[in-house]
Structure 1
Amino acid sequence: MYQKEIEAYWNDPAREQELVAAISRLVGVKSVKGEAEPGKPFGPGPAAALTEALSLCKELGFAVTDYDHYVGLADLNDKETRLHILGHLDVVGEGSGWSTDPYTCVERDGMLYGRGVSDDKGPVVCALLAMKAVRELGFPVSANARLILGTDEESGSADIAYYYAREPYAPYAFTPDADFPVINIEKGHYHPDFGARWERSGALPRVAAMTGGFRQNVVPPEAECMILGLFDRDVQSACDEVARTTGASFLVNGSASGCHIHCEGKNAHAASPDDGINAIAALLEVLARLPLADCGSTKAVLALHTLFPFGDNRGKALGIAQEDAESGPLTLNFALLALTETGFTAKFDVRFPICATEETCKKACEAAFAGYGISVTGDPDMTTVHCVPRDSELVQTLLRCYADYTGVENPQPIAIGGGTYVHDIPGGVAFGCDFPGFDPKMHAADEQASIPNLLLSCKIFTQAIAELCR
């Protein structure tokens, strides 16, 4: 349905020019979150991006609303709203290592470069121009599609929470801020603080201090410890052995009282811990091989090594490993650790599948900890799994639209450990704009987007809007 007309519309070279020009306008606004100001709840950058985006929408003939400066709205028509499309205008900081100006959209060899071209200003423009295409092609629609332009996705999504606390959900919702074909399942999260205390000891050799990690949702790329009573010659062979088996690297420096070990691993998102090298777990592998004295810190180190052995990213040793066919396995990232002479505090990040329950995850974890004198701080909750049934009308329609324009036969929805803009929106799914096999360099230097992929997204979105609102 409509494919011939949509292909002809988007194959006009003028459409590509319009697409690139619109993305360039938005990329040119540095919309990193800043201090709140009157009328600018997330700082001047996101506010300026919202103003620019609403100006663009208005120029394209859409009715627009600045919703208390939290989000912007662009409506396809004045009928009852059936579809919400959620995109965001805020971006993460530019960081270092760019070969171009991050806030100037650069076009080169069929690619766009600039902060936001993929996350999420480029996809926002794709959705906006798809709405324009539906209108200009005159497709019969009996309902409204509303583009919601958010300004705080990168820092907690307080923008969307504000909007939906005051306005109803739509029957259908998708966000073009993730992957094709369709993400219909986002795993639940469980990330408790845990630790133990003990009396200070003078026994030697012992671990006097250990730290690792910097953020809960990142596989720790570095960890370090101070050992009293053992010297570089005493630990180097253990470091070399663990380096060979884990891929981590170690630097040992001696001192008059012992030695310092620094471990370098590889960071990755906590939702994909297999992609990283956990420096905390690797360093624990070294410490477990050393002839440490019987004291509180040694008991803690050995307990942590037993419960979080290197490479166990499924929680098997902790007794919480589980998976199901629809949403895949539970994943675990031992994220943060701070150990002193009298105790330790730590945190892990678990992403659990549909089949997980409080008994098989939270309580099983607490029971495993209790066996080693480790306690969980407070009463952390397990968040809910976000799941939209694969046989729902929304998921099946979007899969069909994706297949029509890509030629992929029988595409299947996917489950992820991360969370998207629709995680807390009933019935919402993630739909584009990243295609399988393409690296947008999200949140990194030289963020990029493929112009052919963006145009293909425009075609898919046009078809999806026309079908969902007809």
Structure 2
Amino acid sequence: MKEKLEQYFFEHRESFIEHIRRLVRVRSVKGEPKEGMPFGEGPAAALKETLDIAEELGLLTKNFDNYVGTISINEQESKLGILGHVDVVGEGKNWTYDPYEGVIVDGKMYGRGTSDDKGPVIAAMYALAAVKDLGIPLSYNTKLIVGTDEESGMADLDYYLTKEKTPPYVFTPDAEFPVINIEKGAIRTSFDASFTPSEELPRVRSIRGGYKVNVVPPEAEAEIVGMLLPDISEIAHRITVETGVNFELRDMGQQLVHIKAIGVGGHASIPETAINAITGLLTLVNALPLQPSEGHRMLQGLSDIFPHNDYYGKAAGLDLEDKESGKLTMNFSIFSYNAEGHLEGQFDSRVPICATEANTFDVLEPKLAQYGIRLVRGGFEKPHHTPGDSPFVQTLLRVYEEYTGLKGECIAIGGGTYVHDIEGGVAFGPTMPGIDTRMHSNDEFIIIDDMLKASQIYAQVIVELCGTQS
């Protein structure tokens, strides 16, 4: 079987690559809902392209009102579900290559969605096609379930589950190998405050940064009134050395200076791999000789609670950890402040199994309150845990070991995937261990040979679970 699959994917390598590129070229960021397009034109177009490709490969398709599409090998009862998505986060800035072209350099394809999750969807689709084309007898169907709102709330999956049940075995190809059987919980919520505006100089006129709660903000900007650019520049240089955040300053005239903070974006579940522009900018703002005010005190408080490079919530009193799922992580995601007297922000914290509302919300709420900032309660998502000794997980690990020669094991992650609320579900590839594909950041990529290998693994899993001997 292994040799047959290797030959199949050798023969279909170019079409495999081109089909990923076809999906990457569709900018499927969530947009305004339209008739028949619940998440906007982009996600609907990407779903249509996906189902078109599946039909070209001879697979069976069904569109659930542009929320979700399904792709099947046959019309038998489904035993295995593979759950992927074709919506993407915004492209952000500072790409080396066009994020919607699928440029290939040194065996890597660059583009938004290549690894999250369009490349993996094509890998799963080709696994179905390979099993069908090779004429391998099956007793059950495998169904590829393709969503369009994974990045923005998963309303697509909620809708789908009102129409159909998931198969007894489910995995998502939206992470890394070997098997992810634990996903941390999450706190995605906000805080806000009102304060008495100040006219004293120098002062902050505005701050804004971040664009999505589950993304480490790569940029932020502020306007300072009452200081000269050279005076800010000297302090900004020192803060760059401390934080790794670069600052671009622009003199706007009349003692108004615009500051642009440039960090490195990344996924909120692994903030230690990125550089947060918001926390870096607040570090600079609070290092400036500004006049005391109620608003300024709040900015100082936020830097005290969410200091730059405090990836694990220690200053906020949230440094939780357990053996099974690891440490709590913290990402200050979105922030705005205006001189009219209002600030608001959002954060994304990935929490271990031991986390509860009592040891998170009840700790953070009074810390913010001492600066006059209100924490919005809610948005607590429980962790997900599938036992590593289940027959399903053991099958996945065995096939992974056979095709890679690497040790199979279960791991925990901070990211939440489509299977987070599906009992018995796990994340399974397609990224090989130790590879950072820069998902949610600029220059996201896949290693083409690794994606082809993942597709072979998925095909073997289909045979193991749905074949006549299963």
| Structure 1 and Structure 2 fold alike (TM over 0.5) | yes
Inter-CA distance 403–290: structure 2 relative to 1 (3 Å threshold): same
Amino acid at match of 1:362: F
Inter-CA distance 316–33: structure 2 relative to 1 (3 Å threshold): closer
Match of residue 346 from structure 1: 345
Say whether residues 1:159 and 2:172 are aligned partners. no
Say whether residues 1:466 and 2:438 are aligned partners. no
How far did residue 23 of structure 1 move?
4.2
Give 3-state SS (helix, strand or coil) of 1:120's partner. helix
Say whether residues 1:305 and 2:303 are aligned partners. yes
Is this contact kept in 2: 1:208–1:341, CA < 8 A? no
- Unaligned stretches of 5+ in structure 2? none
Superimposed CA distance per residue, residues 369-424 of structure 1 (whole angstroms, 9 cap, x where no aligned partner): 223332224x3231222222333333322222211111112x33333333323233
How far did residue 196 of structure 1 move?
3.2
Superimposed CA distance per residue, residues 243-274 of structure 1 (whole angstroms, 9 cap, x where no aligned partner): 22222234556788755362523132322222
| Separation in structure 1 between the aligned mates of residue 87 and residue 147 of structure 2, nearest angstrom | 7
| Separation in structure 2 between the aligned mates of residue 348 and residue 332 of structure 1, nearest angstrom | 7
Match of residue 370 from structure 1: 369
Inter-CA distance 260–11: structure 2 relative to 1 (3 Å threshold): same
Match of residue 378 from structure 2: 380
Task: Give TM-score scaled by structure 2 length.
Answer: 0.84
Superimposed CA distance per residue, residues 29-67 of structure 1 (whole angstroms, 9 cap, x where no aligned partner): 665655555544445554455445445444544443333
Match of residue 8 from structure 1: 4
Give 3-state SS (helix, strand or coil) of 2:62's partner. strand
Superimposed CA distance per residue, residues 207-264 of structure 1 (whole angstroms, 9 cap, x where no aligned partner): 2424131323333322324244x55565554333322222223455678875536252
Is this contact kept in 1: 2:87–2:147, CA < 8 A? yes
Match of residue 83 from structure 1: 80
Match of residue 191 from structure 1: 188
| Separation in structure 2 between the aligned mates of residue 435 and residue 452 of structure 1, nearest angstrom | 11
Is this contact kept in 2: 1:66–1:72, CA < 8 A? yes
Aligned pairs (5 A) from 1:178-257: 178-202=175-199, 204-215=200-211, 216-220=213-217, 221-228=219-226, 230-232=227-229, 235-251=232-248
Is this contact kept in 2: 1:195–1:375, CA < 8 A? yes
| Separation in structure 2 between the aligned mates of residue 168 and residue 89 of structure 1, nearest angstrom | 21
Is this contact kept in 2: 1:209–1:225, CA < 8 A? yes
Match of residue 406 from structure 1: 404
Amino acid at match of 1:145: T
Give 3-state SS (helix, strand or coil) of 2:131's partner. helix
How far did residue 91 of structure 1 move?
4.9
Percent identity, aligned pairs only, is 43
| Separation in structure 1 between the aligned mates of residue 327 and residue 144 of structure 2, nearest angstrom | 34
Amino acid at match of 1:381: G
Amino acid at match of 1:392: S
Inter-CA distance 34–316: structure 2 relative to 1 (3 Å threshold): closer
Match of residue 70 from structure 2: 73
Is this contact kept in 2: 1:296–1:342, CA < 8 A? no
How far did residue 357 of structure 1 move?
0.9
Match 2:330 to one of 329, 332, 336: 332
- Unaligned stretches of 5+ in structure 1? none
Residue-pair matches, total:
461
Superimposed CA distance per residue, residues 122-173 of structure 1 (whole angstroms, 9 cap, x where no aligned partner): 3223223322433455656443211123334344433322111221122211
Inter-CA distance 107–303: structure 2 relative to 1 (3 Å threshold): closer
| Separation in structure 2 between the aligned mates of residue 253 and residue 28 of structure 1, nearest angstrom | 35
Match of residue 275 from structure 2: 277
| Separation in structure 2 between the aligned mates of residue 286 and residue 55 of structure 1, nearest angstrom | 51
* Worse-matched range after superposition: 19-28 or 268-277: 19-28
| Separation in structure 2 between the aligned mates of residue 256 and residue 73 of structure 1, nearest angstrom | 57
Inter-CA distance 200–437: structure 2 relative to 1 (3 Å threshold): closer
- Structure index of larger Rg: 1
Is this contact kept in 1: 2:229–2:251, CA < 8 A? yes
Inter-CA distance 418–8: structure 2 relative to 1 (3 Å threshold): same
RMSD: 3.5
Match of residue 451 from structure 2: 454
Inter-CA distance 11–111: structure 2 relative to 1 (3 Å threshold): farther
Give 3-state SS (helix, strand or coil) of 2:268's partner. coil
